[in-house]
């Protein structure tokens, strides 16, 4: 198997385990053990961890120690305030286009998939689909720089979603404003769409901080 493929596989597996909480915040990552686990040299492992560091999932220090990034109160507030700016801009940009039927169809399909995942109580799938919904709005803007900004946040957002949904007994409320957001795109109601996105992101942030014991002082 080629080096790039080995590195990519290592990135995806480690990334998923961090996002889903299999590897907990502040856990130390042993590069030697990972190399043995994936049966590859430490070179691809170092490259994988460097990529995960760029995505904000791990931290590398001067002593070559690698730890999973902690999710603190400041982390959540900074992440979600930035997400709010990006998504509010994206929804306005998307609505400004004349024909949004393709993206509307995509968003409706994703919400239908979310409902199916909720019925079978697949929390991991619900989180992935929730992220897919918001990613579709960003992609729909056809703005490559906005996409790049979103890509920097995506792993952190999904990580918080997984944490949040693991705590819920009922997933029904997750559907929430998603169908209404689609309706505002159909109606080309920029003011209401922006307000709904801001409320949606703010509510998500508040629920994470309320349901999850994060005590760091800002």
* Residue-range domains of the chain with CATH: 3-68 (1.10.10.10), 73-211 (1.20.120.530)
| Residue 174: burial class (beta carbons within 10 Å; 0-12, 13-18, 19+) | buried
pLDDT at residue 177 in the model: 86
pLDDT at residue 215 in the model: 47
Predicted confidence pLDDT, tens digits, the chain (218 residues): 555 676 677 778 888 899 988 898 999 988 888 888 888 888 888 888 888 888 889 998 767 789 999 988 899 999 999 999 999 999 999 999 988 899 999 999 999 999 999 999 888 898 999 999 999 999 999 999 999 999 999 999 999 988 887 766 667 778 888 999 999 999 999 999 999 999 999 988 988 888 665 444 44
Strands of the chain, DSSP E:
28-29, 58-60, 66-68
> Which residues pair with residue 16 across a beta bridge?
none
| Residue 156: burial class (beta carbons within 10 Å; 0-12, 13-18, 19+) | buried
**What kind and span of H or E run contains 27?**
none
What gap in Å lies between CA 6 and CA 209, rounded to an integer? 37
- Residues 160 and 206 sit within 8 Å (Cβ to Cβ): no
Q: Which residues of 46-83 are buried (b: 16+ CB within 10 A; e: fewer)?
A: bbbbebbeebbbbbeeeeeebebbebeeebbeebbebb
Q: What is the pTM of this model?
A: 0.85
């Amino acid at each position: 198997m080629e080096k790039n493929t080995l590195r990519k596989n290592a990135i995806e597996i480690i990334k998923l385990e961090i996002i889903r909480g299999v590897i907990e915040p502040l856990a130390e990552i042993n590069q030697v053990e990972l190399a043995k686990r994936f049966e590859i040299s430490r070179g691809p492992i170092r490259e994988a961890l460097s990529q995960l560091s760029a995505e904000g999932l791990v931290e590398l220090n001067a002593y070559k120690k690698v730890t999973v990034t902690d999710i603190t109160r400041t982390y959540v507030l900074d992440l979600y305030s930035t997400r709010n700016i990006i998504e509010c801009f994206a929804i306005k940009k998307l609505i400004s286009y004349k024909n949004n039927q393709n993206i509307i169809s995509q968003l409706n399909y994703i919400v239908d998939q979310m409902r199916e995942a909720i019925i079978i109580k697949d929390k991991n799938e619900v989180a992935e689909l929730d992220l897919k919904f918001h990613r579709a709005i960003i992609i729909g803007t056809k703005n490559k720089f906005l996409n790049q900004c979103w890509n920097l946040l995506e792993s952190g957002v999904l990580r918080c979603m997984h944490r949040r949904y693991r705590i819920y007994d009922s997933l029904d409320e997750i559907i929430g404003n998603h169908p209404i957001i689609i309706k505002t795109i159909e109606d080309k109601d920029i003011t209401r769409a922006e307000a709904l996105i801001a409320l949606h992101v703010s509510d998500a942030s508040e629920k994470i901080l309320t349901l999850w014991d994060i005590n760091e002082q800002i």
